[in-house]
Structure 1
Amino acid sequence: MSNILVAYFSASGVTARAANALAEAADADLYEILPAVPYTDADLDWTNKKSRSSVEMNDPTARPALAGELPDLTWYDTIFLGFPIWWYTAPSIIKTFLEAGDFSGKKIALFATSGGSGLGHTDRDLQSVCPGAVIQNGKLLNGSQDVESLASWAKRT
């Protein structure tokens, strides 16, 4: 077991590919954040204001339930937390994940996948739900990053 964890949520597989490459490059353990109710294509239709993802992202109190249990976080010093950018920030399920565990004293480095928007102030958005951790924005991946780039970033973080 490593003292580094790569935890990620992936709706379409893009973030999963980045997380797998990062975990391999950083010699880290890997944990997939899964929703109790998987997202369908209709749920992810950001053009539909009544789609599940749109409703969740418009409700700051939304906390989609997680499937399964969290890993034992006591072993980890550094956690790379990955997700797709939804509405210029992390999906609500990331807040569920952060509120479900004890991240006190942990360093959490964010990485995200996006077709256009950046990480913005996501670190500040998430710090409010996870005050015991040190959260920092990391890398925005748009599909052009390779394993070597991820590895060098992981080693500097």
Structure 2
Amino acid sequence: MKGSAYWQEKGLFQDYLRSIFAQLSRAGIRIVVGHGHGPSTHAFQELEEEAKEKYGLTIFTAWTFAEDERLRYQYDHAGANETSIIMAVRPELVDFGQVKEDESNLIGIAGRHPVRESSEAFGNEILEYIMKTLIAGIEETIGKDKN
């Protein structure tokens, strides 16, 4: 959302990432997992080759190894997936008081209906899946690098 308090131009954001990469590399870090919301994650991913060549870093996102589309939580926007994650991590932040069951005011919300299909249990399932696939993928990558 251009003009809002949190938006940064993509080039500036990527320069900021490059600065972080340089410092992490200098500290001996070799794997970086970065994940944000939509455009920031894509901007991060675009630096994959540069991170490897210039900084010796392998970069991943939370969904790099995730194949189950139902559980790849960043493909919805305040829908059932993201809402379920918040319900699992910070339930006090979820308030359905402004969401109408008939979907007439679901502006900016993508994915499955947040009220009807969100739950703490589903949020935990997503988080467990993401961590499981990410850890397995990183372990496999490390194993390949040793060979």
TM (norm. structure 1) is: 0.34
Structure with bigger helix share is 2
Structure with bigger strand share is 1
TM (norm. structure 2) is: 0.35
Structure possessing the higher radius of gyration over alpha carbons: 2
Which structure has more relative contact order (CA 8 Å, sep 6+)? It is 1
